[in-house]
Every structure is written in structure tokens, then in C-alpha cells.
Amino acid sequence: MDEIVKRIFINTRTHYKFLDKEVRDETLKELHNLVKWSATSFNSSPLRLRFLKSNQSKERIKPHLIDSNVESTMKAPVCTIIAMDLNFWKDLYKNYLREDAKIYFENNEKKINETAFRNSTLQGGYFLKAANALGLATGPMSGFFNKGVDEEFFKDTSIRSNFLCNIGYGDPTGTYDRAYRYEFDEVSEIL
């Protein structure tokens, strides 16, 4: 197996500690540029990212984290809010050129919410792998209070938080032993 594939898919772990090394703004921009090309339904691209690098921005998210995520987030070089824009469908004319796909979403809040959540989650997965490709370690988490984060960072907008992901250069002591992963026959079936 190719070493790059191993680095991105096999040798990755959830990191809870990171080296005291800055993640440059240029690296975060490169990360975005990798993620933006990934496939989504209707090429919808609802993903919105907020990179919290400063101590001040991390202090803003701190009250909305569960206790066990506070220390790792405050010490991480970057805490990323992986969010979704519920108005993604209004820009589909830029992203989806085959037809006017807005008609599938107008006056359909359920479809808007499902599509934004599904595709921002998909883009969030691409984000994790793109970070790994750039040599960054990731610590994705759902241990936070969405409503508080949304009020603090996205008040009066159509953007809502999906999950958080700490990123940086991984400290090898900041992971747990690798747990079991299912074999093909346990969870997959070819029909």
C-alpha cells in the first residue's frame, strides 16, 4: 500500500494533544482549497469553517464545550467549527450548472436541513482527510452545545454548527491505543 494512502487513511488517530507548533494561515487556506473540490449532492457546498486560533476566540467557545473537551481545545493550535449554511441552496446557480436546482429547496425546510447536514458532514469528512494529507492531526468532537456555539459565532445568520475539530501537529503521546475496526464481512455485503 502506498505510504501516502497509509498516512491519510490507516495511520491516523484522533488526537487529544498537539505539539506547540503554529498552524500557519496559509496551511488553513490550503486545507480549504482541498476540501472545496470534493463531491456533494447538487455540488451544494454548505460547509462553512471558522478557524479559532487566538486565545480570545477559544475563550468564546470554552463555555459551550463539555468539561472533558475543554483542556484539549484550549491547548490545540486551532479549533475548527465545522458548520453548515442553511441558505446554501440560494447559491446553487453557481455550484450546480445543469439546472435551476433551487426549485427543489424553496419552501422545503426539511429538505434544506437534511441536505445541509448531510453534505456539510460529508465535507467535514473530506476536511479530516485533507488535514491528514497536509500533515496535520485531527481531533473531531461532538461534545459541545450547538445552540451556544451558534449563538456565539453565528447569531442572526443562516449558519449552524455541525461538529468541532481540533487540528495541529500531533503529539504522539496524545492518542489512545487503536481500537478494533470491523472486517469487511462483519459490516459489508456485495449484492
Please give the grid coordinates belonging to residue 44: 451544494
What does the pLDDT look like over 70-118, one tens digit per residue? 999 999 999 999 999 999 999 999 989 899 999 999 999 999 999 999 9
pLDDT (mean) for 137-165: 98
Determine the length of the chain: 191
pLDDT tops 90 at residue 141: yes
pLDDT tops 90 at residue 6: no
Per-residue pLDDT, 60: 98
Q: How many CA atoms lie within 13 A of 53 on its CB side?
A: 11
How far is the C-alpha of 161 from the C-alpha of 93, rounded, in Å?
24
Assess contact for 169 and 18: CB atoms under 8 A.
yes
How far is the C-alpha of 114 from the C-alpha of 66, rounded, in Å?
26
Assess contact for 133 and 8: CB atoms under 8 A.
yes
What does pLDDT average to over the chain?
95
Question: Helices H, strands E: what count in the chain?
Answer: 8, 4
Per-residue pLDDT, 62: 98
State whether residue 127 is helix, strand or coil: helix
Per-residue pLDDT, 139: 97
The string of DSSP codes covering 57-87 is: HHHHHGGGB-HHHHHHHHHSSEEEEEEEETT
In the chain, pLDDT over 70 holds for what percent of residues?
100
Contacts of 70 (CB under 8 A, 6+ apart): 62
Per-residue pLDDT, 68: 95
Per-residue pLDDT, 69: 96
Phi and psi (nearest 5°) for 167?
A: -135, 155
All domains of the chain, ordered by start, with CATH?
A: 3-167 (3.40.109.10)
pLDDT (mean) for 31-60: 96
Per-residue pLDDT, 178: 87
Per-residue pLDDT, 87: 97
How far is the C-alpha of 103 from the C-alpha of 106, rounded, in Å?
5
What does the pLDDT look like over 112-137, one tens digit per residue? 999 999 999 999 999 999 999 999 99
Plot region of 115 (φ>0 → left; ψ -120 to 50 → alpha; else → beta): alpha
